[in-house]
Structure 1
Amino acid sequence: MCRWLAYSGNAVPLETVLFRARHSLIDQSLHSTLGVTTTNGDGFGLGWYQHPHDIPYRYRSVHPAWNDRNLRELARAVSAPMVVAHVRAATHTPVQETNCHPFRHRRWLFAHNGLIRDFPLMRRDLVVAIDPGRFNTIEGSTDSEVMFCLAMTFGLEHAPVPALERMAGFVEATGRAHGVREPLNMTVCASDGEQLIAVRYSSERQSRSLFHSTSFRHLHELYPDDPRIAAVGDDAYLIVSEPLVSLPDAWAEVPEATAIVVRGARIDYLPFTPRVD
């Protein structure tokens, strides 16, 4: 499938988040250990915020992440306090820039790992439910972008977790109406520059892997001379498809059917229950 990460903390060079860890996201694009596929080379993308209220910047490419010189230059030059990055393994849709995550609408970014099963069978019913005012913003052909547009339709900008629950409930109800028993598998991330919202959920309760960092204060104590850890600050937070480094107690697995909301130093863990209004 895919691998992604989201970072919130002090502004740091993007290369700190993307390249420098032993099992960085760029390494995962070639050597994923927990994903369905080992290689995630069907394009990549990253979005970042310089200031919370700004429209996020974005860079996407169909090149493999490990082989894109421009990405290395950009990651060395740009610093940001919030980043969403994604490496893609395509499932049944073309390798093209408009299919690369993260997707963007105004201040919002969205990235997804997983799938809507039998998406071509359900696609028309899902797309018809998208708010007409958002329909023309669809650029690609992925199930992920449709999920994002549905979440926006259901109120992502105003109540993110309930909107994602309504999106998931609608996908499941639509799938089951078409005879698809387990329609949805997802780890998703959404951000508006002020918060990160991440969800791990699947219809079969066997979701793709997802982890979060535990405490950078703890890491500062363990590795006081590591400038990479010092730079991110005590309240930094990472949500990742796979742990970036093998350090004791540095990572915790996100439980099934759980949403995480990160706003600065505040972190809330919420049960995630799809619903149909």
Structure 2
Amino acid sequence: MCRHLAYLGPAAPIGEVVIAPPHGLFTQSWAPRRQAHGTVNADGFGVGWYAPGDPVPARYRRAGPIWGDLSFADLARVVRTGALMAAVRDATEASADGEAGASPFASGAWLFSHNGAIRDWPHSLADVAASLPPADLLGLEARCDSALVWALVLHRLRQDHEPPEALAEAVDTLGAAAPGSRLNLLLMDGETIAATAWGDTLWYLADPGRCVVVASEPYDDDPRWTEVPDHTLLTATRTDVLLTALKEASA
């Protein structure tokens, strides 16, 4: 499992969102409060952020734990952004992927993260993988389950599916192929966040017209944090949050 978050709001140092909160993603890397599967997220981390006037996000990813990277602490102190995604990783299986297996994954304007695990990986998704264009498989950044999940979502985005539709269809396909998988997905383009709650916790904090944070768990004790029900699709902008029920996939 992993912990992840996405932020849309006023420009702020990355550290104010990721490191400074008392129960922020930095602390969640070793002491998550609501993580049901796994206890330490030390198998890598990543942050993606958008700069004004540039639709393509920058990324900083590493294979080790976030608390051991002094360079990131410096970067997070001075780099400001109004849109970011970050994740700390607890790998489904040990691998040689290194930082390539750490979220967020990226393509064009998109950032993506998977908090969860595919049941009976990789055998359960053999048919799903075979349904993708060979070029998509050859272009995978890593050999982990999250990279294949991202390929499935990205394939739908390239077919001009809207982000919420792309996530909902991917979860339906994955849930049918690998029942019991945990499929909390997070997708953003710098203006909109789409996410699914499927098998693990998801929360959001909204200050309409100003900011929205979508996260695996609250990073502080603000009473405005709202839990997203399981099997739910969330779509959020700086001004609005929409929740839609997802149907239970059947094998």
TM-score (normalised: structure 1): 0.83
The answer for unaligned runs of 5 or more in structure 1 is 176-181, 202-206, 217-233
Partner in structure 2 of residue 170 of structure 1: 173
Map 1:19-98; keep pairs closer than 5 Å.
19-35=19-35, 36-51=37-52, 54-94=55-95, 96-98=98-100
Map 1:8-27; keep pairs closer than 5 Å.
8-27=8-27
Q: 2 CA distance for matches of 1:52 and 1:123?
A: 39
Cα distance, 1:65–1:274 mapped onto 2, change above 3 Å: same
Q: Residues 165 and 275 of structure 1 are in contact (CA less than 8 Å); yes or no, is this contact kept in structure 2?
A: no
Q: Residues 53 and 193 of structure 1 are in contact (CA less than 8 Å); yes or no, is this contact kept in structure 2?
A: no
Partner in structure 2 of residue 112 of structure 1: 114
Cα distance, 1:264–1:131 mapped onto 2, change above 3 Å: farther
Q: Do structure 1's residue 161 and structure 2's residue 161 form an aligned pair?
A: no
TM-score (normalised: structure 2): 0.91
Matched residue type, 2:205 = S
State the structure with more CA Rg.
1
Cα distance, 1:52–1:109 mapped onto 2, change above 3 Å: farther
1:17 aligns to what SS in structure 2?
Answer: helix
Q: 2 CA distance for matches of 1:100 and 1:32?
A: 18
Partner in structure 2 of residue 237 of structure 1: 212
What is the Cα deviation at residue 214 of structure 1? Answer: 4.0
2:29 aligns to what SS in structure 1?
Answer: helix
Cα distance, 1:69–1:83 mapped onto 2, change above 3 Å: same
Report the identity percentage: 31
Q: Which deviations, in whole Å up to 9, do the C-alpha atoms of 1:122-154 show, x marking residues without a partner?
A: 243222222334333202011111111111222
What is the Cα deviation at residue 275 of structure 1? Answer: 6.9
Q: 2 CA distance for matches of 1:189 and 1:13?
A: 21
Map 1:174-189; keep pairs closer than 5 Å.
174-175=177-178, 182-189=179-186
Partner in structure 2 of residue 137 of structure 1: 139
Map 1:125-274; keep pairs closer than 5 Å.
125-155=127-157, 158-175=161-178, 182-201=179-198, 207-215=199-207, 235-247=210-222, 249-273=223-247
Q: 2 CA distance for matches of 1:46 and 1:64?
A: 13
What is the Cα deviation at residue 51 of structure 1? Answer: 3.4
Q: Residues 103 and 111 of structure 1 are in contact (CA less than 8 Å); yes or no, is this contact kept in structure 2?
A: yes
Q: 2 CA distance for matches of 1:259 and 1:114?
A: 15
Matched residue type, 1:244 = Y
1:31 aligns to what SS in structure 2?
Answer: coil
Q: 2 CA distance for matches of 1:34 and 1:167?
A: 25
Give the RMSD, CA atoms, in angstroms.
2.0
Matched residue type, 2:168 = E
Q: Residues 52 and 193 of structure 1 are in contact (CA less than 8 Å); yes or no, is this contact kept in structure 2?
A: no
Q: Which deviations, in whole Å up to 9, do the C-alpha atoms of 1:182-228 show, x marking residues without a partner?
A: 24212111011221111112xxxxx2111111437xxxxxxxxxxxx
Matched residue type, 1:162 = E
What is the Cα deviation at residue 109 of structure 1? Answer: 0.8
